[in-house]
Structure 1
């Protein structure tokens, strides 16, 4: 049922906030997995004086793992990663469902570019938003594989056992591959999509969806109890719907006199303003609201976070790409005669 009008930016910022939390979880999962188990050996480390911090650094890890038994027995290095990915996929699936509804002719809210739709072999007019359907099934497939890993690992012994190793690794890899494909396709499809803002703007004033502001202004200006104001406005909506007319100043006063035995202290202009969708958005300017000023603040905040995420990714990527060279340099330092071969080694 129609609820309240908002803006496209407000909805997209909600997406950004939710996906931003997904990024936080994925970053945390990376921090959890980026510890080197080298030196834990079979179970109890080794009697050789290995510097585990040094080997961890050479291999590109942040630190070594701490407890050697946990190093060979724990599986949260992949379950945390899959859990974070699963939460993200659930969020993506919900967003995709909204966009698929908006793409229906009955809603006509979004139009994908030609590269992301498919025609019908029989019906020339069709523009099926198949890209979004592929996003949805890839997300569902990845989520199903992740769930399979969780079920397989459930109630297994805490140790180095095959139940949580070789046979699960392909499922884990496939989960991450399909999740990446889903997100990449979703981003690509939306990057070239256009929104039918005129249709959305027109519908923002339909279905009596601004009347909660009329209720609020009756409370603010006429000092009515909210329950009473709600009763008056609900009665106005019911009568307007039954008569097939718009909610007007005269109808409001007639209903008010029948409920509180007097007209309300609002002018016709104030009633019109209260029912205007742009005014509805404008007055909701507190933290998290859709008003223009708050929207600009929220966009700036998301842009800052985006830059931080990009820098984090760049730094991590460079570290992972550079560790092989650091490792070779360390090895060559023990065998200077091999330095001449350094450039030829992969």
Structure 2
């Protein structure tokens, strides 16, 4: 073990007389996690070497050798033959050590005017920027699935709930589009996070900058950053970009969890609103009749994991003085796991939405229960009998109590029973008491009317690049 430790220690251990212990080696190494940043690390090294050569800090010949060696490393990574070694601690030292094996002495000049501190956070920002883009693509796919399904059910009536109690009739298309709106905000948060993180730490070195005449604008531009970060202490120590990314993911995962909970409820025998396809259901080892919505249930749990990873990273960062501390080594593990979990969850949700079937009859029947058109009756009293709304609310409450006593829904309550409470009512009142009439009447912007929902579906299809039903 001593020889392997020496390979890693020789990169930084000039002032040490003894080797790290085996346990220190284990707790200190991060290569199993941060090897996922190998492409970002090579990209950062390419940009840094080009800049060093342009600024005449290293020779053009050394830069040519470095670029050639990095090319070989990329070839090995693609082929799965790159030799990741735990004794070299992290991806940065693995790449540098392999580069030395390939090209010899010029590899030792690559680390001029940089530190692992600015190197790691540059890699991490690059990785997170790409991961945010992938998360956004996943959310876009889910939005497309939701909009497509909403377009199929613009007029399907279902109960709308508050407190999980029947409130008013809504349309299923309207319900599905609510999640499209939520996910759009989630997408915006990811885009904002990507924009804010897009500053380059490279060149901040360990914490104080460097005495070499480097060009940080050059490396920032080469790596697709908008600008170099303006303070070297902030550059190497800031992890708010990862916190912001995980915060956006945690909120988005919460929305996935809410939709998952509805799928769990809707697919139960008690609701019978929906049926998951066989692809997204599992069975029971003992009860042959069971169709379990395990994918939806797992998404609920994974939302908690992502929220926990955000909280863990916040806890790791909250008490750190400037600048770098080794506590930050776990920032990547937490971030990688959160993005992996979210990516899997959003794909699973998209698959469920694409293949779920809806029971329109059961939804309509449920919407008609629980006196869901009581507000429509109150509005009718205001509109037709010119009652103040509070008086209409009171009269409607008495009519609901009468219907409850007779075991009838409002639509089926005899007119004379209503007239016993409000004599001015006529047969015309029944025109507003069906669930279809209730939903159709909600034509305010953003309302549940099939007309408004159809308009929203067409607008979303245009925004998402889907074919519309309009000419």
Normalised TM-score (structure 1): 0.82
CA contact (8 A) 2:168 2:373 kept: yes
The match for 1:333 is none
The match for 1:6 is 170
Shift of the 296–53 alpha-carbon distance from structure 1 to 2, 3 Å rule, reads farther
1:282 paired to 2:457: no
CA contact (8 A) 1:72 1:160 kept: yes
CA contact (8 A) 1:37 1:71 kept: yes
The 5-angstrom pairing of residues 312-327 of structure 1 reads: none
CA distance in 1, matches of 2:322, 2:172: 49
CA RMSD, 1 decimal: 1.7
CA distance in 2, matches of 1:180, 1:143: 14
CA distance in 2, matches of 1:240, 1:7: 25
Secondary structure at the aligned position of 1:236 is classed as helix
The match for 2:298 is 134
The match for 1:233 is 396
Secondary structure at the aligned position of 1:171 is classed as helix
The match for 1:117 is 281
Q: Give 1:26's match in structure 2, choosing from 185, 190, 194.
A: 190
The match for 1:183 is 346
Q: Which runs of 5+ in 1 are unaligned?
A: 257-262, 309-346
Shift of the 160–305 alpha-carbon distance from structure 1 to 2, 3 Å rule, reads farther
Shift of the 246–168 alpha-carbon distance from structure 1 to 2, 3 Å rule, reads closer
- CA deviations 1:195-239 (Å, max 9, x no partner) are 111211222222210110110010011110111111111111112
Shift of 1:162: 1.6
The match for 2:95 is none
Secondary structure at the aligned position of 1:156 is classed as coil
CA contact (8 A) 1:233 1:252 kept: no
CA distance in 2, matches of 1:295, 1:36: 44
The 5-angstrom pairing of residues 244-263 of structure 1 reads: 244-247=407-410, 248=413, 249-256=415-422, 263=423
Shift of 1:307: 4.1
CA distance in 1, matches of 2:447, 2:408: 30
CA contact (8 A) 1:208 1:237 kept: yes
- Alignment coverage as a number of residue pairs: 299
The match for 1:152 is 316
Q: Give 1:84's match in structure 2, choosing from 245, 248, 265.
A: 248
The match for 2:214 is 50
Secondary structure at the aligned position of 1:4 is classed as strand
CA contact (8 A) 1:96 1:136 kept: yes
The match for 2:377 is 214
Shift of the 252–172 alpha-carbon distance from structure 1 to 2, 3 Å rule, reads same
Shift of 1:136: 1.6
CA distance in 2, matches of 1:132, 1:149: 26
CA contact (8 A) 1:79 1:150 kept: yes
Normalised TM-score (structure 2): 0.61
CA distance in 2, matches of 1:222, 1:293: 27
CA distance in 1, matches of 2:273, 2:185: 27
Range with bigger deviation, 16-25 or 291-300: 291-300
CA contact (8 A) 1:10 1:290 kept: yes
Shift of 1:34: 2.3
CA distance in 2, matches of 1:179, 1:229: 48
CA distance in 1, matches of 2:340, 2:409: 53
Shift of 1:74: 1.6
1:167 paired to 2:167: no
CA distance in 2, matches of 1:302, 1:47: 53
CA distance in 1, matches of 2:201, 2:373: 59
CA contact (8 A) 2:280 2:293 kept: yes
The match for 1:61 is 225
Secondary structure at the aligned position of 1:157 is classed as coil
Shift of 1:46: 2.5
CA distance in 1, matches of 2:202, 2:465: 34
Secondary structure at the aligned position of 2:439 is classed as helix
Secondary structure at the aligned position of 1:106 is classed as coil
The match for 2:259 is 95
CA contact (8 A) 2:207 2:323 kept: no
Secondary structure at the aligned position of 2:444 is classed as coil
The 5-angstrom pairing of residues 293-332 of structure 1 reads: 293-307=451-465
